[in-house]
Amino acid sequence: MKKIFLALFLSATSLFGGDFYGIIVAETEVENIGHHVFFDAMRMNRQMGKIAKNLGREFKQIMFYDDDLVADEIIQQIDSLELKHDDIVFFYFSGHGQQAVEHPDDPWPLMKLGGRQAINLSTVTMKLLEKNPRLVVAMADCCNHALSIDPVELYFAFPKGEIIDDCEKELIQVNTQKLFHDHSGLIMASSSKAGEPSWSGMMGSFYTLYWIQALYHELREQDTAWEMIFERTTQRLEDKQHPQYLIIPSNEDARLTLDVLKN
Amino acid sequence: MKYFIVALFMTLGVFLLSLDTTAVPLSTDQLCGKIGSEFVHAIESADTIKALKLLPKHHKTKEEKQGYNVIPSEREMDEALVRAVKSCILNDEHYYFDMTKKCEFVPEIGFIISGDKEYTVYASYCAKQLKFIDGSHEIIIDCDPMGPLMEKTFERAVRS
């Protein structure tokens, strides 16, 4: 009975719940970390696909990588998105980054796009919020400046072949709904605070790896929350890298907050 | 007695030499593994090193090298400074070999090591990274453990 209810619930949200947009901007050709970024992009794309599936929403994937990384084209594509009120948008960036120097109070990073181009995470987030979707999740895994830290030991805890029983499948779907469908407004995150670097290794970027691990575990908890995912990620990075996140349940309040940072 | 005094002075000399903190430490396998033993050997055996000051792209200068603007005030360093620069570069303890920062490498100073062929090392103080250039092969290594020693030592090479 529970299963039938869940199936009905999922199909209902799929009918009335809008689409799930996954926008990935990955600096895969960048000097030194290109292959790390490639792993990040592949992993996040897979995660987004899973999230969309568990939400019962159509996954609309938009990827910018290699030679596609032209700031104007990315902004143009975002501008041309026709989002419905109940859509969910997940924006993810991996690549080089630095502090948003032109707005000293903006704690969110400037995302580099190869060459001399760059976009602020807060600018992209604002553009997405202005389209009034149900929820915007915006995340950047990149440096937010430079700081001396010790190496991070990576821990890979992903099961090789995921064996999910029906109960667990239901739990994952319910938790995914809680995280994405039951939230509105803005979820914003970056892999380091202003003035600090982010790190990557042979297997990818540490923040992205730990964030995916945290999501994996949180989706299997009896109760879940965005805060827990970000806190778990922070905990795993120990004191070596200091990520930040912001959760604002109203689109209007989120826009006001981002606006204040730039003035 | 005369031989005893000579032996005493020789022993003292050896002892004082061993206290020379500017002696170039042996490079370890990790740096060789990353940049190649020929590159490491070229740095080890270099008698002179030329320093270059580099500026970001928007600074207009006469010469461009490796995509960066290079101030053409190359000059040779004295022996003590060459040893100090080598001590900074040739030490595995000064690097992270298994991880790297996700920020752009913007060089602020460069060193040219000439031997059988020319090798270049660029340094970025803000990213705390070194870029080793051997012909078309380039590699960036994070050198955070070097701490303030890098800027302090390297800047002496271009300060007039």
Which of A11, A4, A48, A47 is CA-nearest to residue A166? A4
Q: In angstroms, rounded to a whole number, what is the distance separating the alpha carbons of residues B51 and B35?
A: 20
Q: What pLDDT is recorded for position A138? A: 98
In this model, does residue A188 exceed pLDDT 90? yes
Reported confidence tier of residue A203, pLDDT bands at 50, 70, 90: confident
Number of domains, chain A: 1
Q: Which residues of B touch A33 (CB under 8 A)?
A: 100, 102
Which of A40, A55, A41, A51 is CA-nearest to residue A181? A55
Q: What pLDDT is recorded for position A116? A: 65
Q: Which residues of A touch B138 (CB under 8 A)?
A: 31
Q: Chain A within 8 Å of B149 (Cβ-Cβ)? A: no
Q: What pLDDT is recorded for position B117? A: 87
Strand partners, A244: A190
Backbone angles phi and psi of A28, in degrees to 5: -75, -15
Q: In angstroms, rounded to a whole number, what is the distance separating the alpha carbons of residues A135 and A249?
A: 8
Which residue in A116, A152, A205 is closest to B102 by CB distance?
Answer: A205
Across A126-130, A136-140, B124-128, least confident range: B124-128
Q: What pLDDT is recorded for position A154? A: 30
Q: Chain A within 8 Å of B126 (Cβ-Cβ)? A: yes
How many separate helices (H) and strands (E) can be counted in chain A? 8, 11
Q: Chain B within 8 Å of A205 (Cβ-Cβ)? A: yes
Are A191 and A205 in contact by the 8 Å Cβ rule? The answer is: yes
pLDDT per residue over A25-64, tens digit each? 999 988 889 999 999 999 999 999 999 999 999 999 999 9
Percent of chain A at pLDDT above 90?
A: 64
In this model, does residue B91 exceed pLDDT 50? yes
Q: What pLDDT is recorded for position B68? A: 61
Instruction: Select the more confidently predicted residue: A179 or B2.
Output: A179
Mean pLDDT, all residues of chain A: 85
In this model, does residue A132 exceed pLDDT 80? yes
Instruction: Select the more confidently predicted residue: A72 or A114.
Output: A72
**Which of B35, B102, B138, B141 to mutate against chain A (most A CBs within 10 Å)?**
B102
Rounded to an integer, the average pLDDT of A158-169 is 62
- Check CB contact under 8 Å for B140 and A201: no
Q: Chain A within 8 Å of B128 (Cβ-Cβ)? A: yes
Rounded to an integer, the average pLDDT of B6-28 is 52
Rounded to an integer, the average pLDDT of B1-30 is 56
Instruction: Select the more confidently predicted residue: A85 or B22.
Output: A85
**What predicted TM-score, i.e. pTM, was given to this entire model?**
0.81
Which residue in A33, A94, A149 is closest to B144 by CB distance?
Answer: A149
In this model, does residue A67 exceed pLDDT 90? no
In this model, does residue B26 exceed pLDDT 80? no
Residue ranges making up the domain that contains A54: 4-262
Reported confidence tier of residue B99, pLDDT bands at 50, 70, 90: very high
CATH number at residue A161: 3.40.50.1460
Helix (H) / strand (E) containing A262: helix A251-262
